[in-house]
Structure 1
Amino acid sequence: MTDLTDQVAIVTGASRGIGRAVALLLALQGAKVVAVSRSEAELAELTCKTKGLSIVADVSDELDAQHVIAETLRNFGRLDMLICNAGVGSFNQLEDFASAEWDRIFDTNVKGTFLMCKAAVPHFKERKKGHIVGITSDVAKRTFPHGTVYGASKFAQDALLASLRKEVRPHGIKVTTIYPGLVDTHFNDTTPGSPEAEKTHLRPSDIAQAVRYVLEAPAHVVVDELMLHPFTQEW
């Protein structure tokens, strides 16, 4: 089993929901967590708990992505794990989607993953080790009405990670894709914690435990893909 003590891990979208749960759990395991988000206030509160590093950044901005990696290396001297969790979404009929909403969703979900991986991979290649975890969605494997734009972004993100997995494996780098089903978070401007969601949704801590599981796999093991659903969700 891989010991996470003193491992340096970047978590994007860390201020809320899944990202926050991942950052807190990794810190609890002894990892040095670099929490990344656009929300400065929420990051500051999180960093008080993780005792790590917080960086306010927009993952869809190439200079910001490069800055995150550079600051991580400046503070810790290396990077071991990159958890690409930042994501946004909305749902509507195709003809009612504004092109700006397409850009917003694709910029975060696809471009953000691309830019963070692009900035991190050269360091991983130099060290001949590293682990990238992309948290996508089960809709990367299925379609549904009103999910045209969000679903398309998740299919694209999934393809990016799957191709990257084959590209970097010869360099000793692992790539894992996690596909959560319904999770009780602030996603799509909802408020978590409702009695109904507690019965029908996963908790962010469930996804955090999945991230921990794949990161702690022995060096000779890679979990390529992992899908999680609440028991009440049909698949």
Structure 2
Amino acid sequence: MTDLTNQVAIVTGASRGIGRAIALLLALQGAKVVAVARTAEELEELNAKTQGLAIPADVADEDDAQHIVTETLSRFGRLDILVCNAGVGSFNLLEHFDAAEWDRIFDVNVKGTFLLCKAVVPHFKAQGRGHIVGITSDVSKRTFEHGTAYGASKFAQDALLASLRKEVRPHGVKVSTIYPGLVDTYFNDSRPGSLDAEKTHLKPSDVAQAVRYVLEAPAHVVIDELMLHPITQEW
């Protein structure tokens, strides 16, 4: 199994929910975590626990994306893992969406993934190793009413990661994609624990364990896709 001790991992959307659970678990496994989110106060509270690096940033801003990578390399001198977790969602009938809300969803879910991958891929290719993990959604594989914007963004993010996987695999770089179902978290203005979600929702820690699983797989093992089933909590 791959040892995560002293590996440096960027985790986006790390201030709460799934991203926070991933950051805490990776730190527990000995990784040096670079936590990225827009909320500085929540990041600092997390960083007090992970003892890594907190970078307030907007993943949809190209300068911010490059700054994240530059600061990481300056602080730790290496970079091994990128977890693209930052995501937003909004659900409504198509005719009730305005262009600004559509753009916001695509900026975070798709453009943010693109910009962070673009920033790390040259470094990963040059060193002949690295692992990108994308947290998409089970709606990357299905459609539902009121899900035009969110679903389209997740289909796009999934295609981006699948294409990138083919580009970087010859250079020793891995790309893994995780597809959670419903998660009891802050997504779409929800409050964790506010629903009777024990049997119908995953916990953020379930997704974090899936990330750990793909990262710790032996170097020769490639796990392209990992679907998480919320009812059985099996993967």
Q: TM-score, normalised by structure 1?
A: 0.98
Q: Residue 72 of structure 2 aligns to which amino acid in structure 1?
A: T
SS at match of 2:198: helix
Note the C-alpha offset of 1:159: 0.3
SS at match of 2:177: strand
1:49 maps onto 2:49 in alignment: yes
Q: Which residue of 1 aligns with 2:203?
A: 203
Separation in 1, partners of 2:63, 2:231: 41
Separation in 1, partners of 2:56, 2:194: 29
Separation in 2, partners of 1:77, 1:26: 18
Q: What's the % identity of the aligned pairs?
A: 80
Q: Which residue of 1 aligns with 2:16?
A: 16
Note the C-alpha offset of 1:199: 3.0
Note the C-alpha offset of 1:230: 1.4
Note the C-alpha offset of 1:194: 2.5
Q: Residue 3 of structure 1 aligns to which amino acid in structure 2?
A: D
1:158 maps onto 2:147 in alignment: no
Separation in 1, partners of 2:25, 2:232: 25
Q: Any unmatched runs of 5+ in structure 2?
A: none
Note the C-alpha offset of 1:232: 6.0
Q: Which residue of 1 aligns with 2:118?
A: 118
Q: Any unmatched runs of 5+ in structure 1?
A: none
Q: Residue 68 of structure 1 aligns to which amino acid in structure 2?
A: I
Q: Residue 55 of structure 1 aligns to which amino acid in structure 2?
A: I
Q: Which residue of 2 aligns with 1:27?
A: 27
Separation in 2, partners of 1:16, 1:124: 27
Q: Which residue of 2 aligns with 1:229?
A: 229
SS at match of 1:19: helix
C-alpha contact 2:199 2:231 (8 A) present in aligned 1: no
Separation in 2, partners of 1:194, 1:88: 19
Q: Which residue of 1 aligns with 2:69?
A: 69
Separation in 1, partners of 2:177, 2:195: 30
Q: Residue 212 of structure 1 aligns to which amino acid in structure 2?
A: R
1:134 maps onto 2:134 in alignment: yes
Runs of 4+ in 1 over 4 A off after TM superposition: none
Separation in 2, partners of 1:168, 1:195: 41
SS at match of 2:59: coil
SS at match of 2:196: helix
Note the C-alpha offset of 1:197: 1.7
C-alpha contact 2:18 2:205 (8 A) present in aligned 1: yes
Q: Residue 146 of structure 1 aligns to which amino acid in structure 2?
A: H
Moved more, 189-198 or 138-147: 189-198
Q: Which residue of 2 aligns with 1:172?
A: 172
Q: TM-score, normalised by structure 2?
A: 0.98
Separation in 2, partners of 1:54, 1:158: 27
CA RMSD of aligned residues (A): 0.9
Separation in 2, partners of 1:191, 1:29: 28
Separation in 2, partners of 1:222, 1:135: 16
Say how many residue pairs are matched. 233
Separation in 1, partners of 2:216, 2:54: 23
1:88 maps onto 2:66 in alignment: no
